[in-house]
């Protein structure tokens, strides 16, 4: 996901025979606590994994997207954390922040805001940028291939800081939330050829994962695609009461191919370097637990435009806000039409803890 205005994924006339994925088995890591979010100071790394390098899109971006092109730098984004807009596509923390908290470190500095000194990068670097994908999407921000190129150059320019031993004790978080498919739909207007395109997206993602591994990072967590059919922009026509099943079947094809590819990668590398964070299962399990909680659909976003064509953060020519925010953002799973709230990401994080534990094996 990325720029609020960009199309995400509207697949029509999809094949209905795509296999569904099995869910994550729910075992939590008792040693991981959310207190790290408030108290982590970088001196108490969990089991030696000391740095986090992040690649991908708005589900992981903590400030790389340019202020001039994104609503994430405008109110009401960031009202929960850090209390003002910070480039995060949420009212507060996003996936990167929770993975960093799991590791017991502070969230890594966004690449765009890094200083060249060693201190600013002591917890790693976040290269993720809202709206991007593995290919060129509807935004002109650096895609994942370019992000990895930035990473390679950073390693080369700071060899004393990013040694091979240092990289080997780090984690890479790779987020792909669907912008390639949004761009595909915008350019093609239909789902014709979609199945082939899904395979090409997964193939390119796998090449990117291998490249990160070849640069020295030995623990790589990649997200499975979330249920795009449940995003508010795809459920609004159903009054936020039900997901679009056709969209989710397409998502499942992507995720099946990703699982197969990651299993092959692990067989080839012999070190079980690659781990899937199953956002699909984490989202869906949260929806099932909280369906119609307190009479409000969990699929309904907290922040919306006051009328069609407007969105969270919209203002008129006089600067008057053209959006509304729910009274309790901490009770909403979705913040805007495509992105979870901080509360939503906290629920997802809890569901992902068993998968995150695998990084330490």
Q: Catalytic residues, which ones?
A: 58, 336, 339
- Angle 153-108-135 (CA atoms, 0-180°, nearest 5)? 55
* DSSP 8-state secondary structure symbol assigned to residue 141: S
Q: Could you give the CA distance from residue 170 to residue 304 in angstroms, rounded to a whole number?
A: 38
Residue 251: both structure tokens together: 């998502």
Report yes or no: 291 and 284 within 8 Å, Cβ to Cβ: no
User: Torsion over CA of 353, 271, 210 and 349, rounded to 10 degrees?
Assistant: 0
Backbone angles phi, psi at 124, to 5 degrees: 115, -165
Q: State how far the Cα of 220 lies from the Cα of 276, in Å rounded to an integer.
A: 9
Concatenated DSSP letters of 24-76:
PP----TT--TTHHHH--SSS-STT--EEEEESSTTT-SS-S-TTT-GGGSTT
Tokens 């809890």 identify what position?
A: 350
CB 33 within 8 A of CB 96: no
Helix ranges (DSSP H) in the chain: 36-39, 95-103, 144-157, 164-168, 179-188, 194-214, 232-235, 245-269, 279-290, 342-357
Report residue 287 as tokens: 């929806």
Give the pairing of strands 219-223 and 109-110: unpaired
Chain centroid to CA 261: 20
């Amino acid at each position: 996901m990325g720029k609020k205005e960009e199309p995400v994924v509207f697949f029509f006339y999809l094949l209905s025979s795509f296999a569904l994925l099995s869910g994550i088995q729910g075992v939590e890591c008792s040693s991981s606590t959310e207190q790290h979010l408030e108290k982590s100071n970088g001196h108490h790394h969990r089991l030696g994994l000391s740095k986090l390098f992040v690649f991908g899109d708005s589900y992981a971006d903590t400030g790389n997207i340019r202020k001039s092109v994104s609503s994430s730098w405008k109110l009401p984004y960031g009202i929960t954390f850090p209390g003002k807009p910070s480039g995060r596509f949420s009212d507060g923390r996003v996936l990167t922040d929770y993975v960093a908290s799991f590791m017991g470190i502070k969230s890594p500095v966004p690449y765009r805001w890094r200083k060249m000194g060693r201190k600013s990068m002591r917890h790693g670097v976040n290269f993720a940028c809202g709206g991007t994908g593995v290919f060129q999407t509807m935004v002109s921000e650096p895609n994942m291939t370019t992000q990895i190129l930035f990473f390679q150059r950073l390693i080369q320019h700071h060899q004393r800081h990013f040694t091979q031993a240092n990289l080997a004790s780090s984690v890479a978080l790779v987020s792909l939330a669907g912008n390639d498919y949004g761009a595909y739909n915008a350019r093609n207007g239909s789902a014709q050829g979609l199945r082939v395109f899904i395979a090409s997206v997964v193939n390119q993602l796998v090449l990117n994962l291998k490249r990160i591994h070849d640069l020295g990072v030995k623990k790589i967590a990649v997200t499975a695609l979330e249920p795009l059919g449940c995003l508010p922009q795809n459920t609004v026509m159903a009054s936020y009461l039900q997901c679009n099943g056709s969209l989710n079947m397409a998502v499942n094809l992507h995720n099946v191919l990703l699982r197969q590819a990651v299993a092959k990668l692990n067989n080839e590398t012999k070190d079980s370097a690659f781990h899937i964070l199953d956002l699909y299962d984490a989202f869906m399990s949260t929806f099932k637990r909280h369906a119609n909680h307190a009479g409000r659909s969990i699929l309904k976003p907290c922040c919306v435009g006051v009328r069609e064509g407007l969105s969270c953060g919209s203002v008129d020519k006089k600067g008057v806000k053209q959006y509304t925010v729910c009274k309790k953002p901490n009770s909403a799973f979705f913040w805007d039409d495509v992105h979870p709230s901080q509360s939503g990401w906290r629920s997802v994080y809890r569901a992902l803890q068993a998968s995150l534990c695998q990084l330490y094996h």
